[in-house]
């Protein structure tokens, strides 16, 4: 059987129930996945959500079929065993985590491609729609609490700080609103770029009373969370110095949601990627570029991966804990999946993708779960990017999974939600 290097097209038997298990352990420095076990990834439930007659969204050619890219990331309510996910058929679904049966469905005026945010305190789900609105819906019943119209598609997850929600839309607006009433605190705007852009837009990140946002003109900015005014002297232009001879240089936007983490020398750092100029580490306090990897082009998502130091089973109690160096994972449709050193930007490993793109990498049970538009879901090692296991249900995945313990949920481009379980090998 001729298989591309990144494709692990293994069949997965259905059966059992998806479950949450908070006692699951992470991998040691020499992980559970040092060699490839059999049956590490299995499907425990699946549910077709999108009705073909109602689906709307981006349509593209792939293997003589015309799938619609489903881009909503599921959100979990672990305490009550619920999964919330939107689809291109204009609906947000609330499902039972155990068997993916429907609790309720909320209809909007456009495709729901954003990742919902669950507010456990208020029992409310916040999510955006391509109809230009951010919605607040009662998580137990699906009843509308409020609707906030922005005038353009809302395709990224909002973030919450106390009583405030911060989010962006596809027209380069940033909003701060009240989470209970939906009333506006402030809004900020940059004039959209006049040039070619990749579909979609970046979300926002919040840290230390600042909102970090990326825009379609290639700029990244830090905003004061209380007022919306700029916290850096100027927005940072990530397109400066771009090589005009490359194909990627045709595209202007920064679609990656900034990721905030700690740096041992520079304090809080944001990581973000511009499609045409690479991956950047930026000092959160000043907006100073700390490093840039200009080889990782076409990146659409970045993920900061780390594990706490710990003692694997069998190690003496007085032995020092093992620590695994953190990684910055950058997902690109043109150059593959990159693992970078977050301190220096140097490449640690790279997985090339034969066709299509890859989603953001999701940590699960000491491994990484990655979706691809051409070859299904893949479980890979964070140490070297080597494949462990995979499933290919057809039409691929354009949005990342969400994971808790050893269980993950992922929405395929066919509009089917899969519950998958990672089964670590015996020691």
Q: Scanning the structure block, which residue is given the tokens 């049966």? A: 101
Stretch (H or E) spanning 337: strand 336-340
φ, ψ dihedrals at 207, nearest 5°: -160, 130
384-413 per-position pLDDT tens digit: 999 889 988 877 899 999 999 999 999 999
In degrees to the nearest 10, what's the CA dihedral of 399, 401, 402, 403? -170
Question: CA–CA separation, 204 vs 128, rounded Å?
Answer: 13
Strands 75-77 and 347-351: unpaired
Q: Mean of the per-residue pLDDT values for the chain? A: 84
- Mean pLDDT on 328-349: 95
User: Would the pLDDT of 12 be above 50?
Assistant: no
pLDDT at 295 over 80: yes
Alpha-carbon span 85 to 99, nearest angstrom: 14
Q: What percent of the chain has pLDDT over 70?
A: 80
Q: In percent, how much of the chain has pLDDT > 90?
A: 64
At 318, the pLDDT band (50, 70, 90 cuts) reads: confident
Place of tokens 């409310």: 124
Count, in order, helices (H) and strands (E) of the chain. 0, 32
Over residues 302-307, the mean pLDDT reads 93
Q: Give per-residue pLDDT as tens, 128-156.
A: 999 999 999 999 999 999 999 999 999 99
The pLDDT score that the predictor gives to residue 157 is 97
Quote the pLDDT of residue 58.
45
Q: What distance in Å separates the CA atoms of residue 55 and residue 354, rounded to the nearest whole number?
A: 28
Q: Is the dihedral angle over the CA atoms 305, 308, 314, 320 positive or is it negative? A: positive
Write down the architecture of domain 41-308+324-422 according to CATH: 7 Propeller (2.130)
For residue 26, pLDDT over 60 is answered with: no
- The closest of 217, 299, 225, 290 to 257, measured between CA atoms, is 299
Average pLDDT over residues 47-67: 53
Query: Strand ranges (DSSP E) for 78-197?
Result: 82-86, 91-96, 102-107, 117-119, 124-128, 133-138, 144-149, 159-161, 164-168, 173-178, 184-189
- List the strands of the sheet with 407-411, edge to edge: 41-48, 416-422, 407-411, 402-404
Q: Return the CA Rg of the chain.
A: 21
**CB-CB contact of 46 with 416 (8 Å):** yes
pLDDT over threshold 50, residue 33? no
Question: Cα separation of 257 and 213, whole Å?
Answer: 7
Residue 52 has pLDDT above 80, yes or no: no
């Amino acid at each position: 059987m001729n298989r591309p290097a990144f494709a692990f097209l293994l069949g997965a038997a259905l059966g059992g129930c998806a479950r949450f298990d908070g006692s699951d352990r992470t991998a040691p420095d020499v992980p559970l996945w040092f060699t490839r076990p059999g049956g590490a990834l299995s499907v425990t439930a699946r549910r077709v959500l999108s009705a073909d007659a109602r689906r709307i969204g981006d349509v593209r050619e792939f293997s003589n079929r015309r799938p619609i890219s489903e881009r909503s990331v599921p959100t979990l309510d672990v305490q009550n065993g619920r999964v919330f996910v939107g689809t291109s058929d204009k609906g947000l679904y609330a499902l039972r985590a155990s068997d993916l049966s429907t609790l309720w469905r909320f209809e909007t005026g456009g495709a729901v491609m954003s990742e919902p945010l669950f507010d456990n305190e208020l029992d409310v789900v916040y999510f955006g729609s391509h109809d230009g609105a951010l919605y607040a819906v009662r998580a137990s019943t699906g009843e509308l609490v409020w609707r906030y119209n922005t005038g353009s598609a809302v395709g990224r997850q909002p973030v919450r700080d106390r009583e405030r929600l911060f989010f962006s839309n596809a027209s380069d607006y940033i909003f701060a609103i009240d989470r209970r009433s939906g009333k506006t605190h402030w809004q900020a705007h940059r004039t959209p770029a006049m040039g070619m852009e990749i579909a979609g837009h970046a979300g926002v990140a919040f840290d230390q009373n600042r909102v970090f946002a990326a825009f379609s003109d290639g700029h990244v900015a830090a905003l004061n969370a209380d007022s919306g005014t700029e916290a850096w002297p100027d927005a940072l232009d990530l397109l400066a110095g771009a090589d005009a001879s490359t194909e990627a240089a045709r595209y202007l936007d920064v679609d990656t949601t900034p990721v905030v983490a700690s740096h041992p020398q520079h304090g809080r750092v944001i990581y973000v990627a511009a499609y045409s100029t690479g991956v950047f580490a930026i000092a959160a306090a000043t907006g100073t570029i700390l490093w840039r990897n200009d080889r990782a082009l076409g990146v659409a998502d970045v993920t900061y991966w780390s594990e706490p130091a710990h003692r694997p089973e069998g190690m003496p109690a007085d032995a020092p804990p093992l620590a695994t160096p953190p990684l910055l994972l950058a997902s690109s449709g043109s150059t593959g999946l990159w693992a970078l050193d977050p301190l220096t930007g140097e490449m640690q490993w790279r997985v090339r993708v034969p066709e299509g793109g890859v989603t953001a990498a999701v940590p699960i049970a000491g491994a990484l779960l990655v979706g691809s538009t051409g070859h299904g879901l893949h479980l890979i090692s964070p140490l070297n990017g080597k494949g462990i296991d995979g499933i290919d249900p057809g039409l691929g995945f354009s949005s990342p999974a969400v994971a808790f313990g050893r269980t993950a949920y992922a929405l395929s481009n066919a509009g089917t939600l899969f519950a998958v379980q990672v089964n670590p090998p015996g020691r």
